[in-house]
Structure 1
Amino acid sequence: MALLDTLHRWAGGFVGLVLALLGLTGAILVHRDAWIMLPHAGDAQIQSTHVLAATTERLMSNPETRPQSVTFANANLGLDRLDFGKGAGAYTEQAGTIVSQWQTQWARPELWLFDLHHHLLSGDTGETIIGIAGVAGLFFVITGTILWWRTRKTFAFRPLPKRLSRPAIVRHHRDLGIVAAPLLVLSLLTGATLVFRPISAVFLGPGAPATIDTALQAPKGPKVALADHLDWRRMIVTARARFPDAELRSLSLPRKESGLVTIRMKRPQEWLPNGRTTLWFAADDGRLIGARDAASLSNVVAAYNILYPLHAAKVGGLGYRLVMTLSGLTLGLLGTLSVWSFWFKRPRPVKVRRGVRP
């Protein structure tokens, strides 16, 4: 037990600050659509095929100004978001008129906060660090629960420690942690699995990672360059005709050498904000190459697809957003105070004079 306690304290002293950062940024980001204060942000979502087709044609017709992707308005945000790459982007009202534009993500707090939460502002390396921190966080919850059991009779719930002394912080950390453990497991497990897909084998079965990779893989399309002029309107009409009950969520230009324009849609039974119902069109002439109906995915893949909505509070409305806000704030508090108590409130060693009994 002493070794477990030492591992818990030392690991927390080094990883706690990263977990605190993830918790606090996550608590803010679950509400990000609500604090985008721009004209038309409160407009009702439009899913008329005619309007979506006309807007897409307007945004994508000029090869010189077309964005790399368009994410269409949703029920909580009445603006389309354009991504031009390298941090540049814009918000438009749903007819395609720009209401805000930027050349760097630092101009929009919701963008750099998202990058901070998902990549620590350092790309794939930061994402890996976040995944490791998530796994470490699960270790803290498990070991913390084991260590709490021996002191369970002294349990007293307090939102904040009585004082900033080390004993008070340790007791608060222990008791608040056991109360928040279920929420922390939910946040940490979903987050770590989204970074490290092989973790899904723990709760979805040994073959889950391979099954998910295969199911979510795009079809092999022609390696062709993107044409200057495509019938964007026809793509939207084709997508809506194929899945008439689905919400149109995004359109993306080919990445690397895929040669495919991708349209993502969300069917009513899907929880994922942008859905997994997907259509792929050839980049040279706009012909339909393939389509995937999310309803046809296996139970394993369907279960994996609900991880992000659970992690980012994209389901359950305001009530669940508040629950995940509480989870993030608690993680931020536990992580911050654990680092503070470890590095700045450690007990000083007792100096014993020679020849004098302590």
Structure 2
Amino acid sequence: MDLQHRTRATSSSRLTARRVWWRLHRDLGLSVGLVFVLLGLSGSLLVFYPRLDLWLNPQLQVAPQPGPEQSYQQMLETVQKAYPQCGGSWQLELPLRAEDRAYTARCRRTAAAMSGEFAPQMVTVNPYTLQVLGNRQWGQTVMSWIYDLHLTLLLGTTGTLLLGGIGLLLCLSLVSGFYLWWPRQLAFAKALHFKRGAAAARRNYDLHKLAGVCGLAFTLMLTVTGALLATPQWFKPTIDALSPLARMPMLHSAPAAGRAMLDADTVAGLARAAFPDAELRWLDTPEDAQGVYSLRLWQRGEPSRRFPKTFVWLDAYSGALLATRDARQRSAGDALFAWLHPLHNGEVLGLAGRWLILLAGVLPLPMYVTGFIRWRQKCRAARGR
């Protein structure tokens, strides 16, 4: 009798736990599932957003041409004339692909940016002719609008905080779905079977579970990395306590009477000398008379070529090396944050990785639709009892 009683108690406890997990999965799916769909579809578009932006704006493309490109300094002077309202630093991004040689510089001190938004002015220039090909503001182009939708829900800082919380809830939803799917007695073949000849309700359920289980590794990775990217301030104190994170140095140039700032090309040469095998990716001009040059370089082995984590800071007048950050010599915590973005957009696995993330971003749509249909089926069944 005691054995039977314990067996019944265990069975009842499991049933109660399953009901709790099912209700959690249902309520989270219905409440934040639609946001998951929005984030997934917008994220799929953003996987290739630089190329899609060029496809939408073909006038910004510059094919390689014979002869040398103009200097970085000349390009910066060109964009400064195109957007004289910028009173601060310009951030010059070097071309990422050999087949497209256009350079784009960003001015972050815009009217919208001064109110706390990320809304730089983006000026694209032909490096051979110095012709200005585009003068656009972030958020007013199709792809940058989609980017803001994905990152903030178009709600600014409030949106990023919401997305951080929603990301954690989505993680719980995915884990609860996996728990509910986990087969008893490890009958995985049966649990992964799709019954083609079954009733519509059963086929809908099979589609829901297969979309969730087969894509779980990718959707869970996207939600975790997305939450960390949206609200790093929630996680950095804990990570910093376990593995100290690098701090941005507070640096200043030393202006001298009669000495002008060094030009961008000289500074680029000094940065390359500090990391001879690295590829220069970004060059930031000084913010003001006491500002410094900040240069960002990519070293082989870094997960993101577009947004690498190797930095060089130089005095704007003397060219003195003020500080460096070598991405190959970083803490585990810094390595974690360096991998977040290339994991989130698939860059870490090259073109194949980007296509995998694009497909993973589509998965929340069938998961939500089939889940919603199953909920409606259960509601109708409950009313019929």
Q: TM-score range by the shorter chain?
A: 0.7 to 0.9
Q: Confirm whether residue 347 of structure 1 aligns to residue 379 of structure 2.
A: yes
- In the alignment, the residues of structure 2 paired with residue 311 and residue 259 of structure 1 have an alpha-carbon distance, to the nearest angstrom, of 33
Q: Confirm whether residue 307 of structure 1 aligns to residue 340 of structure 2.
A: yes
1:17 aligns with one of 34, 44, 65? 34
TM-score (norm 2): 0.74
Residues 103 and 126 in structure 2, CA contact (< 8 A), matched pair in contact too: yes
* Corresponding residue of 2:139: 105
Q: 1:82-93 counterparts in 2 under 5 A?
A: 82-84=105-107, 85=110, 86=112, 87=119, 88-93=121-126
Change (3 A) 1:119 1:246: same
Change (3 A) 1:310 1:297: same
Counterpart secondary structure, 1:295: coil
* Corresponding residue of 2:163: 130
Residues 45 and 73 in structure 1, CA contact (< 8 A), matched pair in contact too: no
Counterpart secondary structure, 2:61: coil
* Corresponding residue of 2:331: 298
Return the index of the structure with the highest Cα Rg: 2
- Tell me which amino acid in the other structure corresponds to 1:195: A
Q: For each residue in 1:219-238, what CA deviation from the matched residue of structure 2 results, as whole angstroms up to 9, or x when unmatched? A: 1223999xxx6323322221
* Corresponding residue of 1:219: 249
* Corresponding residue of 1:252: 284
* Corresponding residue of 1:64: 84
Q: 1:229-308 counterparts in 2 under 5 A?
A: 230-233=261-264, 234-253=266-285, 259-272=291-304, 273-282=306-315, 287-308=320-341
- In the alignment, the residues of structure 2 paired with residue 347 and residue 12 of structure 1 have an alpha-carbon distance, to the nearest angstrom, of 15
Change (3 A) 1:44 1:185: farther
Residues 72 and 81 in structure 1, CA contact (< 8 A), matched pair in contact too: yes
- In the alignment, the residues of structure 2 paired with residue 266 and residue 295 of structure 1 have an alpha-carbon distance, to the nearest angstrom, of 10
* Corresponding residue of 2:5: none
- In the alignment, the residues of structure 1 paired with residue 174 and residue 133 of structure 2 have an alpha-carbon distance, to the nearest angstrom, of 45
Counterpart secondary structure, 1:275: coil
- Tell me which amino acid in the other structure corresponds to 2:46: L
Q: For each residue in 1:32-82, what CA deviation from the matched residue of structure 2 results, as whole angstroms up to 9, or x when unmatched? A: 232212246363599x99844553455458993666322221027533222
- Tell me which amino acid in the other structure corresponds to 2:193: A
- In the alignment, the residues of structure 2 paired with residue 121 and residue 191 of structure 1 have an alpha-carbon distance, to the nearest angstrom, of 16
- Tell me which amino acid in the other structure corresponds to 2:169: A
- In the alignment, the residues of structure 1 paired with residue 50 and residue 242 of structure 2 have an alpha-carbon distance, to the nearest angstrom, of 33
Residues 60 and 134 in structure 2, CA contact (< 8 A), matched pair in contact too: no
RMSD (CA atoms)? 3.8
1:192 aligns with one of 227, 233, 249? 227
Q: Confirm whether residue 156 of structure 1 aligns to residue 187 of structure 2.
A: no
5+ residue gaps, structure 1: 353-357
5+ residue gaps, structure 2: 1-17, 113-118
Give the paired residue count.
Answer: 339
Q: Confirm whether residue 34 of structure 1 aligns to residue 69 of structure 2.
A: no
Residues 43 and 358 in structure 2, CA contact (< 8 A), matched pair in contact too: yes
1:179 aligns with one of 214, 219, 227? 214
Residues 131 and 192 in structure 1, CA contact (< 8 A), matched pair in contact too: yes
Q: Confirm whether residue 323 of structure 1 aligns to residue 356 of structure 2.
A: yes
Higher mean C-alpha deviation, range 23-32 or range 94-103? 94-103
Higher mean C-alpha deviation, range 132-141 or range 62-71? 62-71
